[in-house]
Structure 1
Amino acid sequence: MFRERSDYYGTASSSSCKPYSVFGIHGIAGSGKSTLANYICDHEKKAEDKHFNLIMFSHVSVTFRVEKIFRDMLREITGIQSDKDIESLGKELMEKLKGRRFLLVLDDLWVKGENQKEREILLDALGAGENGSVILVTAQKEDAAKALGAREKEQMLMPDLEEEEYLSLFMHHALQGTVDDAGRFEWFGRTIAKKLQRSPIAAVAVGRRLQIEKNINFWKDTAENHDVLNDTMGALWWSYQQLCGDTRRCFQYCSVFPKGYRLKRDELVSHLDSTRVYKHHKFTIHDLLHELAERAAGSDFFRIDDLSGLPAKDILLGVRHLFVGSQNVAQAAQTVEKNLDLGNLRTLIIDETNTSTNRKQRRHDLEKTFDRLFKRLRKLRVLIIRLGSNPEELSFPGSIEQMKHLCYLVCSSLNNYDGTLILPSIFNKFYQMHAMFFYLGTSVSYPHGMGNLIRMRHIQHVFPNIGRMTSLQTMHYFSVKKEQGYELKQLKHLNKLRGHLEIFGLGNVGSKEEAFEANLASKKRVTDLELYFFDGRTKNPDIEAEVLEGLCPPKELQALTIRGYRGSRYPSWMLSGQQHPDAPKHLRRLELMHCSSPLASFPEDSELFMHLHELFIRGWEQDSFPENMQRLVSLQILDIVGCGHSKSTMMEVLPTLPQSLKKIGISQCNVLSRTCQEEGHENWQKIQHIGRRDSGAFILLNLSFFFVHDVHMHASSLCPAGHVSGGLR
């Protein structure tokens, strides 16, 4: 690491008055520069002797835009995507940097004469940081970091891997899960690896494709007959050619987005069966893969990153899928109308950076622009509009009815202003609509009859009579209300739902029979279920117990959360698996939050608990913890939060814990937290076995702060980011 350099935390490279130093990593595309930079960031975040107060990452690429870099930095600092203008962004950033030592990665930086002024604006803002700050530049050429002030000794050329190291990398990706009888796969693998010119990205791309094809003849043919692998782009092209036709088309679609664009997973691939891990993930495409996608896409796809100075002749008339990056929607619309045959356009993505604060004028401008544009997009299938700022109220014009083939609609905004999005009455006749998402920080006013859109597969908001949409696959939540169209029975025939599902307002359900009408057991692809009893509470423990009894989840459920349940008992499908063959059998995660029902002990014959890996108990309102916790023979993670409010001394004593336990977290439990740290105390003794066979064990305890007890090494370098950040807030 650069920590080993004696001058690593010295003053600036170019001038002693600057509080930062500039380091550069340069090398050919695909050599691992960005991977190394990310590794350095992760290493510094986990370091025990933290030098940096802030660690930030911004993908710059060919188009150097200081406004984007400012937004990226502020997003990493605050966790919020700012919608301010560049002057305000600069002022806010300088304020955030004052007195703080930072590490900033400028990934894939290109130097051009026309961006010199913007580089100066960036460096002036970074001058607000504390001495010892570092700018780390990754680039294909050495002059990129040099332009920011890096000296020769502060530059590093990415070295080639040694032959055996490269072979090891390649075979790691190519042989995973492959049974290599007599070493035949490795024999051909060596020949293939020699062709790849020690390109890391080629090793990963080709290796993973070979890992999928476990046919030895395929490996032999690749080794003997594909000299295209001798070139990095050729190797990527070969890997692309091995994809099926539908997947190749999806890959081509990625070319419409700019390099370095942060893609939301669900904008490319809708929810699959297992969604928890990737639910909110964003991705960027490697520049070489982006170039490959552009080559494969041909003339059907076109992208306008900057409207200024764009010759009309550069836009091909046959374009079907278009991305426009612009200061404002009106400007983008004018360019599209002027230079394209809108009647043939199938996809239109407008990415706006307008940050206007005049919300009334903003509404007028947007509605006028939408009205004019929608009239001409008669064959459009996909419309994605990202607004820099949204008005107090926005109505989609009636001219949207011209887009009768529209099947995918997204409208989002950088900010979260309160407001209302109003859809016209004609919207309930968009029978081809498959997916619809509005991320505007607003409420949405839907017309009556939205339940008629029976081809809908993915929605964000819920409206009356959703039970008619039997093709639904993704619905993040459903709220039970005492209104027509919001009854729990609306879920009865939605058996194609998959992934994550939250059900609110279960306090409005009056009986076991009513709960049974939800038919949850038939939703076989729902893997993560959350049940909320807070809203519309019946205040009758027996009724809540009957309702939960009737909400038997599907057999393949992996994660279950029950919140606010105050029933008199737990359901039989949870406690007696043998009596319920269709109840969950392989539940891996269970969270009980603010539940008062007496789960006195864990049953011996319940398969639901036997495979449990994670148990979260939050706001426990009982006089003691469940007994016989040692029966949870597969439990690896136990998290106890806010269970110190009971006056019972039984809540101050941990139960006997299973030997399988690897990690335990305790917070907001004053006595329990303290005694777990007192050597020799009963609670201290009960946690000593945790992680003895696993160096990744950690314990989080909370008095007025978090105390970290680690069996073998520092916990900050081991615990999952979500667990730690969630606890520390």
Structure 2
Amino acid sequence: MTGLLTRLAKSLLLLEYIKGEKDDIAVDVFFLTIDGKSLRKRIEDIENIFNDLKNSPLLSQQCSSSSNSSSEIPAKGTSKKSSRQEQIADSHRKISHMVIGRDKECEDISRKLRKAPDAYGPSSNSSRPYSVIGIHGIAGSGKSTLAQYVCEYEKKAKDKHFDLIMFSHVSTTFRVDKIFRDILEQTTQVRPSDTERLQSIQKEVKDKLQGKRFLLVLDDLWVNNDKQMEQDILLDALDVGQSGSRILVTAQRQDAGAALGCAQKQIPIPDLEKKEYLKLFMHHAGSSNDAEYKRIGIKIANKLRRSPIAAVTVGKQLRRNRRIRFWEATANDVVLNETMGALWWSYQHLGADTRRCFAYCSTFPRGYKLTRDELVRIWIAQGFVNTNSNAIGELEDVGSHYFDELLTFSFFMQVQRKFSGTELFTTHDLLHELAERVAGSDFHRINLNGSPKDIPAGVRHVFIGTNNGAKVVVEKNLDFRNLRTLIIEERYTGTDRTTQPMDDLEEVFDWLFMRLKELRVLIVKLNHGPKVVSVPASIDHMKHLRYLGLRFPCVKLILPSTFSRLYHMQTIFVRRNSNYMRVSCPEDMANLIHLRHVTAWMPFPNVHRLTSLQTLTHFNVKEEQGYELKQLKHLNKLRGALTIWGLGIVGSKEEALEAQLACKQRLTKLVLRFRNDTCNPDVTAEVLEGLCPPKDLVELEIQLYKGSRYPSWMLSRQHPDAPKRLQKLLLMGCSRLASIPEDSELFTHLRELHIIKCDWDRLPENMEHLVSLQNLIIHGCDEMELLPTLPESLRMIQISSSDALSTTCKEEGHQNWQKIQHIPEKNIFLSS
């Protein structure tokens, strides 16, 4: 104990020295400029001392309980759910009040967007159907937020002025193919493959924009004279739009908008008025009528130089800590006088583990979009996620807590929700700069125009975003002995014709595997490559590998027998662009007992041994030992989505019950796929009866079910394990659904119903009882001719490849036409 106190005293002397010099802001900036590696080592030493002390039985319970680290996980018996709900509500408040004090700018932008096309004159020549409007201001002034608000306003406006509204984050690297893909993803809900040729996606963009009045936001545009050809390609594609279309540009400099032909006066984003800035700050700090809080809040707000991003990050930390002494100390902290200093102050008040996870984000380029699951799993692979005896849940729950903390305090921001429901997040440019500073020399990125020769020796985390990046690394014979992360992502611009398929990919991999013996995370995303890729046997040299992410255009990936020796492996993520590819893997994959996530189509036997498994995207039932449905019995940690194929060979209800699906309480989506053959309908019905999903399931898909009846868990309120909160139901190639029982809980909360390729002659007669249903999609139902009375709650109906129904729904006066008139959005398509 004496030794611990001695070490602590020495460390505190260093901190006291720093604190004593606090009147000089240069000392605070010291933390942002000092070599990150040495500073982090000292900080970790101090934290280790505190941890040792905290675990000492000589410390009183009161002392240990006084800690208020934001990274702590609720102890057993506490309500983690209520805490998470508070965080979600807080984040929602941030989104709902994004534009405090910007009413004048909002009105000015909206007026210019909707003004007649000739009011300001075309952007460059009179034949173009669009004009360019520019917003400019310093980093952190709220340009992107304002543009996003304008987009949301226009989408929700009752008078739809624009047919299409699209948003693309451009950043310092202008890539026309990336902008085209953003446009198509938002207009078709499907993102084109990265391997598609520029000419192909350019044509598709023109087809989608042809004759449409559109609003396109190009966010964070930078002047780049080297990209003039790509800018011309973009503007050429936009020429097909209808007169009155608009391009809204946000940039830090006026000349960025002018480069795209912005002829009219651009809209500056000035500092907020003092009163409005205080309102913004106090909103995030927690509005209070207490005069003392307001007095100190004014003092703090005055130090922040009217920076919106500083108001948000500092304010949210103050909302969490309502002690007057803490507010007073903050008001006297000179580091808040600069925007970067204010962000650093907020960063310092995150939990220690959360800070380390945030610093890791500097590995990725600015504007890079990440999903929560991907980032949390990478943090886990790096050993950044810690649990203790009082923690609830898995490592993923703890990592998600870190993520929520960063999201709550605006270190992350949600930038996109894909059609699939996946949310994408990124960091504000200034916060990314902060991450780079605190990360130090352990992290290095090579962007599109960079060179691997610039990688410093001893670096631990590397992102290579160049074409043929993997091959260049080999040719330069770089020293990667200490590397913990290697991410290679081809960032093909679409105009570079020099990029060729990497035919020697296996040789490149072999070189990397033989040298990356300390690697924890390997992610390789290629736009070009051979159709079949065989991973070299030398992969077993990477004994510490925990996360493997591969995205190739190949049809098949072959993993060697040595792959099953990677005993630390936690996550396998293999995709073929937007789809899963076939993966051939060793029969003894179940030896990898630490596997937590398998996001790939790679069937292997005896999966029941992987009791830590949480993600298993596909399970294929076969008439072979090791592939029985009962293999799922003890995998009760499964979460997210699970697809079960081959249910047609299951022979009884008892066999289906062995899977114990109802026990997998964290599954949110379940796909049950039978097979389109001559299975006995009565047996199939018994099998489905035994496949009762967990009660908290959100999405259910039943495919190719030809049973003679529907299961009791689908129809009866009395079933104890039946889904109680199902929101989406998809039936594909199934026998007709009987009338919906009015006492069924499964349908109470249903918001979306898909009927796909079913040979039904009609929908259930009592559809009006689906009082929560908002979306109804009917596709490929040629036998269906008449609609029943539809629920008043419907907001959208889509009918396609069902010509009899589509024709009558478009025929004014027909009873089908009359039954859909109350629905705001009607998408009725006839087969071409």
Classify the TM-score, shorter chain.
Answer: 0.7 to 0.9
Deviations 1:28-86 (A, max 9, x none): 11112123334445566677887877765443333455676566667767831443677
- 3-state SS in 1 of match to 2:723: coil
Segment drifting more, 454-463 vs 557-566: 557-566
Query: CA separation in 2, counterparts of 1:58 and 1:614?
Result: 29
- The CA deviation at 1:497 is 0.5
CA gap of 1:473–1:118, structure 2 versus 1, over 3 A, is same
Contact 2:756–2:781 (Cα < 8 Å) also in 1:
no
Counterpart selection for 1:328 from 448, 459, 468? 468
Letter in 2 for 1:110: W
1:393 aligns to 2:528 (yes or no): no
Counterpart selection for 1:568 from 694, 708, 714? 708
CA gap of 1:125–1:375, structure 2 versus 1, over 3 A, is same
Counterpart selection for 1:525 from 666, 677, 681? 666
Counterpart selection for 1:252 from 359, 362, 374? 359
Query: CA separation in 1, counterparts of 2:755 and 2:539?
Result: 49
Counterpart selection for 2:559 from 420, 423, 427? 423
- 3-state SS in 2 of match to 1:409: strand
Counterpart selection for 2:480 from 334, 342, 346? 342
1:109 aligns to 2:247 (yes or no): no
Q: In structure 2, what is the equivalent of residue 37 of structure 1? A: 147
- The CA deviation at 1:482 is 2.6
Q: In structure 1, what is the equivalent of residue 311 of structure 2? A: 203
1:501 aligns to 2:613 (yes or no): no
Q: In structure 1, what is the equivalent of residue 795 of structure 2? A: 663
Letter in 2 for 1:654: T
- 3-state SS in 1 of match to 2:557: strand
- 3-state SS in 2 of match to 1:375: helix
Query: CA separation in 2, counterparts of 1:17 and 1:545?
Result: 64
Query: CA separation in 2, counterparts of 1:464 and 1:444?
Result: 10
Query: CA separation in 1, counterparts of 2:742 and 2:233?
Result: 65
- 3-state SS in 1 of match to 2:545: coil
Query: CA separation in 2, counterparts of 1:664 and 1:92?
Result: 25
CA gap of 1:117–1:643, structure 2 versus 1, over 3 A, is closer
Deviations 1:64-117 (A, max 9, x none): 556765666677678314436779988998899888776554432333xxx424
Letter in 1 for 2:650: V
Contact 1:27–1:33 (Cα < 8 Å) also in 2:
yes
Contact 2:735–2:758 (Cα < 8 Å) also in 1:
yes
1:119 aligns to 2:252 (yes or no): no
- 3-state SS in 2 of match to 1:154: coil
Letter in 1 for 2:555: G
- The CA deviation at 1:571 is 1.8
Query: CA separation in 1, counterparts of 2:128 and 2:723?
Result: 61
- The CA deviation at 1:291 is 0.6
Query: CA separation in 1, counterparts of 2:567 and 2:203?
Result: 48
Q: In structure 1, what is the equivalent of residue 67 of structure 2? A: none
1:158 aligns to 2:293 (yes or no): no
Segment drifting more, 469-478 vs 96-105: 96-105
Letter in 2 for 1:653: P
Correspondence list, 1:428-447, <5 A: 428-440=564-576, 442-447=581-586
Contact 2:685–2:707 (Cα < 8 Å) also in 1:
yes
Contact 2:603–2:620 (Cα < 8 Å) also in 1:
no
Q: In structure 2, what is the equivalent of residue 712 of structure 1? A: none
- The CA deviation at 1:344 is 0.8
Counterpart selection for 1:282 from 424, 428, 438? 424
CA gap of 1:546–1:194, structure 2 versus 1, over 3 A, is farther
Query: CA separation in 2, counterparts of 1:7 and 1:627?
Result: 50
Query: CA separation in 1, counterparts of 2:251 and 2:575?
Result: 34
- The CA deviation at 1:512 is 0.5
How big is the alpha-carbon RMSD for the aligned residues of Structure 1 and Structure 2? 4.2
Counterpart selection for 1:637 from 758, 771, 774? 774
Gaps of 5+ in 1: 691-696, 706-728
CA gap of 1:135–1:618, structure 2 versus 1, over 3 A, is closer
Letter in 2 for 1:200: P
Q: Percentage identity across aligned positions?
A: 52
- 3-state SS in 2 of match to 1:343: coil
Contact 2:487–2:524 (Cα < 8 Å) also in 1:
yes
CA gap of 1:89–1:404, structure 2 versus 1, over 3 A, is same
Deviations 1:436-479 (A, max 9, x none): 11223542221221121111111122322222211111122222
1:140 aligns to 2:248 (yes or no): no
CA gap of 1:663–1:536, structure 2 versus 1, over 3 A, is closer
Query: CA separation in 2, counterparts of 1:566 and 1:388?
Result: 41
- The CA deviation at 1:322 is 0.8
Contact 2:736–2:758 (Cα < 8 Å) also in 1:
no
Letter in 2 for 1:411: L
- 3-state SS in 1 of match to 2:271: coil
Contact 1:11–1:18 (Cα < 8 Å) also in 2:
no
Q: In structure 2, what is the equivalent of residue 717 of structure 1? A: none
Deviations 1:221-247 (A, max 9, x none): 575444534433233222222222222
Segment drifting more, 403-412 vs 619-628: 619-628
Correspondence list, 1:438-457, <5 A: 438-440=574-576, 442-457=581-596
Contact 1:421–1:444 (Cα < 8 Å) also in 2:
yes
- 3-state SS in 1 of match to 2:472: helix
Q: In structure 1, what is the equivalent of residue 60 of structure 2? A: none
Letter in 1 for 2:311: A
Query: CA separation in 2, counterparts of 1:612 and 1:93?
Result: 35
Gaps of 5+ in 2: 1-109, 378-395, 405-416
Letter in 1 for 2:147: A
Counterpart selection for 2:342 from 210, 235, 249? 235
Query: CA separation in 1, counterparts of 2:420 and 2:312?
Result: 21
- 3-state SS in 1 of match to 2:481: helix
Contact 2:768–2:789 (Cα < 8 Å) also in 1:
no
Query: CA separation in 1, counterparts of 2:783 and 2:196?
Result: 47
- The CA deviation at 1:642 is 4.9
CA gap of 1:473–1:125, structure 2 versus 1, over 3 A, is closer
Query: CA separation in 2, counterparts of 1:67 and 1:603?
Result: 51
Query: CA separation in 2, counterparts of 1:85 and 1:21?
Result: 28
Contact 1:326–1:332 (Cα < 8 Å) also in 2:
no
Correspondence list, 1:69-84, <5 A: 79-83=191-195
- The CA deviation at 1:491 is 1.0
Q: In structure 1, what is the equivalent of residue 384 of structure 2? A: none
Aligned length: 674
- The CA deviation at 1:148 is 4.1
Counterpart selection for 2:442 from 300, 304, 326? 300
Higher relative contact order (CA 8 A, sep 6+): 2
Deviations 1:142-193 (A, max 9, x none): 2322344434x43110133344544444455454xx9x68688767655544
Deviations 1:360-398 (A, max 9, x none): x94542122221222111101101111121212222222
Deviations 1:544-589 (A, max 9, x none): 11111111212322332323322222222233343x4333333333
Contact 1:97–1:126 (Cα < 8 Å) also in 2:
no
CA gap of 1:196–1:500, structure 2 versus 1, over 3 A, is farther
Query: CA separation in 1, counterparts of 2:535 and 2:187?
Result: 35
Q: In structure 2, what is the equivalent of residue 476 of structure 1? A: 617
Q: State the TM-score, normalized to the length of structure 2.
A: 0.70
Query: CA separation in 2, counterparts of 1:171 and 1:674?
Result: 57
Correspondence list, 1:687-698, <5 A: 698=824
Segment drifting more, 374-383 vs 6-15: 6-15
CA gap of 1:368–1:617, structure 2 versus 1, over 3 A, is closer
Q: In structure 1, what is the equivalent of residue 86 of structure 2? A: none
Q: In structure 1, what is the equivalent of residue 788 of structure 2? A: 653
Query: CA separation in 2, counterparts of 1:366 and 1:59?
Result: 32
